[in-house]
Amino acid sequence: MHPANPINGGKWGLMGGVFDPVHYGHLLLAESARQSSKLDGVLFLPNLNPPHRECKPTASFEDRLMMTRLAVEGNNFFVVSDLEKELASPGYTIAVVELLEQRYPRADWHLVLGADNISIFDSWYKPEELVGKVKIIVGNRPGYDKAFETSPWFEKVKRFDMPLIELAATDIRKAVKEGRSIRYMIPEEVRKFIGSRGLYR
């Protein structure tokens, strides 16, 4: 078990996301990053107000926070935080990192990204500053090699291998709306929570 303050130093992954809902693709990315970079743990940060318009969540922040907590329950290497409630809107990643640096000055932060994110990294707020503050580690994904090679950030990120899993929160929400099964796409407790709350219908 982690101590009461689980981020009191060490190497930590930072994984932000809308998590609408959180699914096995997110968890596999985090676990692969933890193992490949020998991280002490991964901090999950559900986005309160994502800067990108196409990422506007369907479920409430509290519901997405609870789903993420349910998803990582029992994994002592994963921690979920509602830290974004303390940020001004929108919740830029650079602001999150600066707050984490203040709160956990002894931690060495590694920003965990999926390969699809590197192709839009230029559109993030102050990407140059972000690269200067944290190490960026990116999960390999077939079909995104060219995005890496043509990206100006190619030499500044570290890639790690992970098993291929094609899951998208958009498809999961659509399946729920259409009454189709989402079993084995997301943790069972998350699936039950979605049903009990009537989310995405």
Per-residue pLDDT of the chain (201 residues; tens, 9 = 90+): 344 447 888 999 999 999 999 999 999 999 999 999 999 999 999 999 888 756 689 999 999 999 999 999 999 999 999 999 998 778 899 999 999 999 999 999 999 998 878 777 888 899 889 999 999 999 987 666 665 666 677 677 888 989 888 899 999 999 999 999 999 999 999 999 999 999 999
Which three-class secondary structure state does DSSP give residue 163?
coil
Q: Residue 124 and residue 94: Cα distance in Å, rounded?
A: 9
CATH for the 12-197 domain, from 2.40.50.140, 3.40.605.10, 3.30.230.10, 3.40.50.620: 3.40.50.620
Per-residue model confidence (pLDDT) at position 76: 93
Per-residue model confidence (pLDDT) at position 122: 80
Q: What is the dihedral of CA 179, 183, 186, 190, to 10 degrees?
A: 70
Report CA-CA distances (Å) from 81 to 48, 69, 78.
Answer: 11, 9, 10
Are 167 and 25 a contacting pair, CB within 8 Å? yes
Per-residue model confidence (pLDDT) at position 55: 66
Which three-class secondary structure state does DSSP give residue 187?
coil
Are 94 and 101 a contacting pair, CB within 8 Å? no
Per-residue model confidence (pLDDT) at position 157: 84
Global pTM reads 0.91
Per-residue model confidence (pLDDT) at position 196: 98
Per-residue model confidence (pLDDT) at position 1: 37
Per-residue model confidence (pLDDT) at position 140: 81
- 135-139 and 157-160: which strand pairing? parallel
Beta strands in the chain (DSSP E): 10-17, 41-46, 78-80, 107-114, 135-139, 157-160
Which three-class secondary structure state does DSSP give residue 180?
coil
Residue type, 93: T
Number of CB atoms found within 10 A of residue 148's CB? 17
